[in-house]
């Protein structure tokens, strides 16, 4: 453990002198970019001058219908949490068409979590106070990864090891995904809408769903949990699950959290569940954070701080 810590300190020093760490003067954060695997990277937002005082950790997983988005586009989430007393991690993961398998994305999220647990102390983070947040497709992937790891499932030949989160917060996520004719119909609808001027991106979403979901399995956390008996799971990765939905969300409409909540209540012994509904659209929380809306900032901090 001491040798690993020493090597990570060297890596941080090298990153500093190589210019891979940037500093924002306004509220004094440092951003370190780390290649956690051969195929992707993450950013850590931390206070370089105060790494000895350990802070809670928040990891954010971006959305984008499994085919777009990046840590850079949602770096404001990392800045926001660092500014409010956390060490924050914002991640990239493989997207379609780089991959045609949801499990590749799960593997990437799992590796970022393992990297964070093993290394975040050198950035001033307390791995025992770890919150995982995901938005939209990122909410699905964060939840699916947590479920598969907690149940010791195999992904790409790797048996995932359980980890312990203080809090899992899926923002505007899809927790039960269509299959069969219903899935094909939703893909056809996206393709049709993609012909409308200004909505061409929906055709890309349709293509991603076709290649990632049709004829495949293992991507639906609700379906996985339905295989387990009542109160047969002692702990499912997180002490608390907080599901956030918005009443004007037309991308992932209200109600998509209900099946996951029902399975948690039925199958898991030790879990706290919260369900927050806000008046807004699919990106209500993210837009509020990016635009420095004090009310929305306080709402998100209230959710996060509810476990402390």
**pTM of the shown model:** 0.91
Report which of 49, 40, 41 is spatially closest to residue 16, judged by C-alpha positions. 49
> Mean of the pLDDT values across residues 198-215?
96
What local confidence, expressed as pLDDT, does residue 29 receive? 84
Report which of 119, 130, 135 is spatially closest to residue 86, judged by C-alpha positions. 130
pLDDT at 192 over 90: yes
Helices (H) and strands (E) in the chain, counts: 10, 11
DSSP E strands, 14-91: 21-24, 29-34, 42-46, 55-61, 87-91
What local confidence, expressed as pLDDT, does residue 26 receive? 55
What local confidence, expressed as pLDDT, does residue 27 receive? 60
Please state, in angstroms and rounded to a whole number, the distance separating the CA atoms of residues 171 and 169.
6
Contact call for residues 285 and 148 (beta carbons, < 8 A): no
Band (pLDDT 50/70/90 cuts) for residue 3 is: very low
Summarised one tens digit per residue, pLDDT across range 78-133 is 999 999 999 999 999 999 999 999 999 999 999 999 999 999 999 999 999 999 99
Topology of the domain covering 2-173+219-305: Rossmann fold (3.40.50)
Contact call for residues 34 and 41 (beta carbons, < 8 A): yes
| Stretch(es) of the chain classified as CATH 3.40.50.1820 | 2-173+219-305
> Mean of the pLDDT values across residues 234-239?
98
What local confidence, expressed as pLDDT, does residue 4 receive? 38
Summarised one tens digit per residue, pLDDT across range 147-158 is 999 999 999 999
pLDDT at 23 over 50: no
Mind giving me the DSSP string for 245-274?
A: EETT-SSS-TTTTHHHHHHHHHHBSS-EEE
Summarised one tens digit per residue, pLDDT across range 57-85 is 999 999 999 999 999 999 999 999 999 99
pLDDT at 10 over 80: no
> Mean of the pLDDT values across residues 20-24?
45
pLDDT at 22 over 70: no
Contact call for residues 89 and 78 (beta carbons, < 8 A): yes
């Amino acid at each position: 453990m001491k040798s690993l810590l020493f090597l990570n300190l060297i890596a941080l020093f090298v990153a500093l002198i190589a210019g891979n760490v940037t500093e924002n003067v306004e509220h004094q954060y440092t951003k370190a970019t780390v290649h956690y695997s051969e195929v992707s990277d993450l950013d850590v937002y931390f206070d370089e001058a105060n790494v000895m005082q350990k802070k809670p950790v928040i990891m954010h997983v971006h959305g984008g219908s499994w085919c777009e988005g990046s840590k850079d586009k949602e770096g404001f989430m990392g800045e926001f949490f660092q500014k409010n007393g956390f060490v924050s991690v914002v991640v990239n993961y493989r997207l379609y068409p780089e991959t045609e398998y949801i499990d590749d994305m799960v593997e990437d999220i799992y590796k970022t979590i393992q990297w964070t647990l093993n290394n975040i102390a050198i950035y001033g983070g307390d791995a025992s106070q770890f919150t995982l947040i995901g938005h939209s497709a990122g909410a699905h992937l964060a939840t699916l990864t947590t479920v598969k790891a907690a149940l010791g499932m195999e992904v790409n030949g790797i048996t995932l090891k359980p980890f312990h989160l203080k809090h899992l917060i899926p923002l505007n996520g899809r927790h039960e995904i269509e299959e069969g004719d219903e899935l094909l119909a939703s893909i056809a609808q996206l393709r049709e809408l993609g012909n409308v001027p200004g909505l061409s991106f929906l055709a890309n979403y349709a293509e991603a769903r076709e290649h990632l979901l049709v004829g495949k399995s293992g991507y639906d956390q609700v379906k996985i949990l339905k295989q387990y008996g009542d109160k047969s799971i002692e702990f499912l990765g997180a002490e608390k699950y907080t599901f956030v939905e918005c009443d004007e969300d037309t991308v992932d409409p209200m109600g998509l959290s209900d099946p996951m909540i029902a399975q948690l209540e039925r199958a898991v012994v030790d879990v706290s569940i919260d369900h927050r509904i806000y008046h807004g659209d699919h990106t209500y929380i993210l837009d509020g954070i990016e635009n420095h809306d004090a009310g929305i900032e306080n709402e998100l901090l209230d959710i996060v701080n509810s476990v402390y």
